[in-house]
Amino acid sequence: MPDKTEKSGKQQVADERPVRRQARGERRIAQLLDAAASVFCTTGYTAASTNAIAREAGVSPGTLYQFFPNKEAIAIELGSRLMHRMRETYGEALAPPDPATPLEEAVTAAVDRFIDFNCRNPVFFALMHGPDIPGRMAEEHDALHATLITRVETLLTPFVPGMPAAEVHRVAQVCVGIYKAGLELVLAHEGAEREAYVQELKNVLVRYLGALVVD
């Protein structure tokens, strides 16, 4: 196997060749991404084999590599489409900069949206939660996390006007951490129990942030 870095450096130029996809190809790509999502959900990223993904999609390994240069690219593309879907589903509606909104309402709305998205797309959690993400996936992961933190910071700022930036950053980190932990519990349960955990997650956040606001 040749040097990876040189290869990726080459790609920036060589991959500019217009690989004109046919409708069939687009269908295969969607099929493969669906299969990958399914396999990633059940086994995680590293344990998922490209042969298993191809089998799940009902195609040969060779066909898989017709559309993706390597295993990582599958996860990258999947993550990218997931991010895109997330943006277009919830758009900028996440950050209503209206300081008149009560804290509890803002938290409830944000949590409900995110939980809903994660329940509909469980692979999102599988890709984000794995500590087994290699190379470029980690960058993608960090970028998303940073974006999320920033979003929470701006959401938070109007509620805590006097707080230093470093502290706001810390609070945002804690909030996201709490959300992730809550999400794990929510995804692990169903029906009424799941709803109860959602409510509990909201309680944690509201009480934590509420104490900061009235200070």
Partner DNA sequence: GGCAAACACGAGAGATCGCTCGCGTTTCAC
Partner DNA sequence: GTGAAACGCGAGCGATCTCTCGTGTTTGCC
Residue 192's binding partner among DNA, a second copy, none (Cβ under 5 to 8 angstroms by kind) is: none
Contact residues for 48 (Cβ-Cβ < 8 A; gap 6+): 36, 39, 40, 71
Pick the closest to residue 78 from 7, 5, 142, 140 (CA basis). 140
Residue 132's binding partner among DNA, a second copy, none (Cβ under 5 to 8 angstroms by kind) is: a second copy
Q: Does 129 bind a second copy (CB under 8 A)?
A: yes
Task: By CB under 7 A, name the one of 34, 38, 41, 63 that touches DNA.
Answer: 63
Q: Does 71 bind DNA (CB under 7 A)?
A: yes
- Which amino acid is it at 177? G
Q: Does 202 bind DNA (CB under 7 A)?
A: no
Piece of 25-33, 98-106, 127-135, 144-152 that binds a second copy (CB under 8 A): 127-135
CB–CB of 202/111 below 8 Å? yes
Q: Which of residues 22-41 bind DNA (CB under 7 A)?
A: 22-26, 28
Q: Does 67 bind DNA (CB under 7 A)?
A: yes
Distance CA 126, CA 41 (A): 6
Q: Does 157 bind DNA (CB under 7 A)?
A: no
Q: Does 178 bind a second copy (CB under 8 A)?
A: yes
Contact residues for 128 (Cβ-Cβ < 8 A; gap 6+): 141, 144, 180
Residue with tokens 């998205």: 117
Which pair of structure tokens corresponds to residue 48?
């998922």
Residue 181's binding partner among a second copy, DNA, none (Cβ under 5 to 8 angstroms by kind) is: a second copy
